[in-house]
Amino acid sequence: AVAAAAAVVAVAVDRAHTSDAAGGHVGPTGTASTAPPTPTGTPTQTTEAPTTPPTTAYTPPPVPDGYHLAKQANRGYSVPVPDGWRKKVTDDGDQVSYVDPTGKVGLKISALDYGSADPYQHWVDLEPATRSQVSDYHRERMEPTQTPDGQPAALWQFTFQGTSTTFRAIDLGFGKEGGREYAVYLSAPKNQWTKYRKVFDTAVAGFHETG
């Protein structure tokens, strides 16, 4: 199991995620336009439409050595996770955790059916609950950002005191309003952060929505 302190903060984040599911949003429908007919007897002139560069979809990098691609088809994503980490899924399937062999480092992916309008404001709203549920909470940063594929996102990094050591945690929240909302979360002992931060970076870079 994840160390007690890491489990506490995971519970705080889990509860916060599941308490703020926004309602669905339907955008306006498009309306087709019809070009006016060419007058009878007037020669038509063919003009070549301007060329628009095709939109290039984001392609995740190859899964690095020591990782494998974990797929959650029922939640619409795949993500690279370290080999040998134990998988744990909540009963509702919204959160999937991968815990390292020491039990002190955890990578957690959360998925909700309805995304919030503003990922940054979502973290701001959740911070008081996290502060009240962990010891010696200290925010290191909280800022708007983007995912590698250009989606609006928010990054939240903080420290808290565990039973025997100080932990650092980082959480990236993103998604489309009315669509699915995701969060990629990692916590690890602060004195081993340099070693494990790459697990978070690899998960974020390789995260892929599968529909």
Is the pTM of the predicted complex or chain greater than 0.75? Answer: no
Burial label, 21 (beta-carbon count in 10 A; 0-12, 13-18, 19+)? middle
Residue boundaries of the structural domains of the chain: 4-19+62-209
* Arithmetic mean of pLDDT, 197-210: 96
Fold of 4-19+62-209: Protein Transport Mog1p; Chain A (3.40.1000)
Which of 63-72, 74-83, 109-118, 187-196 is predicted least confidently? 109-118
Q: How far is CA 169 from CA 41, 112, 211, in A?
A: 73, 20, 28
- In percent, the amount of the chain with pLDDT more than 70 equals 73
pLDDT value at residue 1: 31
pLDDT value at residue 48: 53
Backbone angles phi, psi at 157, to 5 degrees: -130, 135
